[in-house]
Chain A
């Protein structure tokens, strides 16, 4: 299979990015050092190419009703310019994907924008096609004609604002606005996947490299760096954001995954019956964090033990540059989902001591 390339591929290649296969795309895992890129995002600005994320658009008078049925959140009541985290479930309540839904218009001009995980693009497109009504909704895939750049960190707004006619300071978290960035039409959204303040910008593919260069030139004097998927993963794990294929999958429902906030039960949607049952039942397992005293890093599928008993499994693990110790997320028996509980994690046949830790591991200082 040939890997898809984002509009920024040539830039990544020229900048010496180490390219890997991610969700069928050739993406940079790092340019310099994951730790340096991580720290730049926590202290200044990190720039990420997130163009591999799928961008779907829904137009037409039936778009709101259709999305209500597809999503665990009621899309049709999302106010203009607002963005909501939501889930797409199958009939059994298993998670097909976690997505962001944007309402980008009012009245007759209302349309919705859905951002979907790269690796789930074909699956979700097929799911949409399968449930799409015969008329009233126009579904289009804008992934290849646009690029998406995440600019994250405490100085991200300072870097982007001079290039942009949208007053970003006025945009609340999880809001978006259409405007102009570096002279090109752009969607600016106050979203991200790092636990930091910042924006994600969606721009025409043909302008992506020029815009990336201008933002980077503004970010560099502030201490900014281009960042790869490696830092994106350490940042999101510190912020305890779940990742599809790790914390989330078709074999887990949103309630068990600790994502009840992403489900509204006041409308009918695919999988609702199962989610109501999960809501009313005792959870079979709970998503928790782990902090390790040792330097060895628990990775996905490492088992969690107390004495002779297996009590859970790790879904993601990494070395936390902010805490300077290994951290992990995983699912455990509800009885031990108490912060401070001492456990052992089996890392390739040897056990390390760890303790159940509250999530997130990192929260940005709020002003």
Chain B
């Protein structure tokens, strides 16, 4: 996935939003910047298919040697698929965060939150400010 086509949450998750079956579906993951900051990943807890997500609320956990972090849902909706392979090959998150490193697909049920997501340039500016 082309990082310039993605939307980003301030909490460092990305979303690729596309039209599907008359609605919108977001493929979501964690940004390269956040993966770089976490380093040494040891555990990822995926959401369950069928789970409801709320934009800005935790929907998974990622653990590094150092600490555990919540993964926040960038959109509100229902989880319709998860990347079952990912917890067993966490290096995909380092090597390929925007394609092989996808975490879940969420069928968006409330599009109003999409306006809160950043485009790539706004997100990069935020990352620069965070150092």
Contact surface of A with B, Cβ cutoff 8 Å? 18, 29-30, 33-35, 230, 234, 295-297, 299, 318-319, 321, 326, 348
**Min CB distance, B11 to chain A, in Å?**
18
Contact of A34 among B45, B63, B65 (CB under 8 A): B65
**Min CB distance, B93 to chain A, in Å?**
14
Please state if B68 and A297 are interface contacts (CB–CB under 8 Å). yes
Give complex CA distance A29, B65 in Å: 12
Please state if B66 and A230 are interface contacts (CB–CB under 8 Å). yes
Please state if A34 and B42 are interface contacts (CB–CB under 8 Å). no
* 9 contacting pairs across A/B (C-beta < 8 A): A29-B66, A34-B66, A230-B65, A230-B66, A295-B42, A295-B87, A297-B68, A319-B42, A319-B64
B83 within 8 A of A: no
Please state if A297 and B39 are interface contacts (CB–CB under 8 Å). no
Please state if A299 and B68 are interface contacts (CB–CB under 8 Å). yes
Chain A, interface SS category = mixed
**Given A34-B40, A35-B40, A234 and B63 touching (CB < 8 A)?**
no
Please state if A296 and B66 are interface contacts (CB–CB under 8 Å). no
**Min CB distance, B37 to chain A, in Å?**
8
Chain B 15-59, CB-CB to A under 8 Å as 1, else 0, gives 000000000000000000000010110110100000000000000
Please state if A35 and B65 are interface contacts (CB–CB under 8 Å). yes
**Given A296-B63, A297-B68, A321-B65, A33 and B42 touching (CB < 8 A)?**
no
Contact of A295 among B37, B43, B67 (CB under 8 A): B43
Please state if B63 and A318 are interface contacts (CB–CB under 8 Å). no
**Given A295-B63, A296-B63, A297-B63, A34 and B68 touching (CB < 8 A)?**
no
Please state if B43 and A234 are interface contacts (CB–CB under 8 Å). no
Q: Which residue of A lies closest to B61 (CB)?
A: A348
Chain B residues with CB under 8 Å of A18's CB are: 37
**Min CB distance, A222 to chain B, in Å?**
23
Give complex CA distance A34, B42 in Å: 12
Chain B residues with CB under 8 Å of A299's CB are: 67-68
Give complex CA distance A30, B61 in Å: 22
Give complex CA distance A34, B65 in Å: 7
Chain A residues with CB under 8 Å of B45's CB are: 296
Give complex CA distance A326, B63 in Å: 11
Chain A residues with CB under 8 Å of B40's CB are: 33-35, 319
Contact of B39 among A33, A295, A296 (CB under 8 A): A33
The list of the 6 closest CB pairs from A to B, nearest first, reads A295-B43, A319-B42, A319-B65, A34-B65, A34-B40, A35-B40
Give complex CA distance A297, B61 in Å: 12
Please state if A34 and B43 are interface contacts (CB–CB under 8 Å). no
**Min CB distance, A152 to chain B, in Å?**
18
Please state if B43 and A296 are interface contacts (CB–CB under 8 Å). yes
**Min CB distance, B41 to chain A, in Å?**
10
Give complex CA distance A296, B64 in Å: 10
Chain A residues with CB under 8 Å of B63's CB are: 295-297, 319
Give complex CA distance A33, B65 in Å: 10
Please state if B42 and A348 are interface contacts (CB–CB under 8 Å). no
Chain A residues with CB under 8 Å of B87's CB are: 295
Q: Which residue of A lies closest to B90 (CB)?
A: A295
- Find the residue from A295, A296, A299 having the highest chain B CB count within 10 A: A295
Chain A residues with CB under 8 Å of B65's CB are: 34-35, 230, 234, 297, 318-319, 321
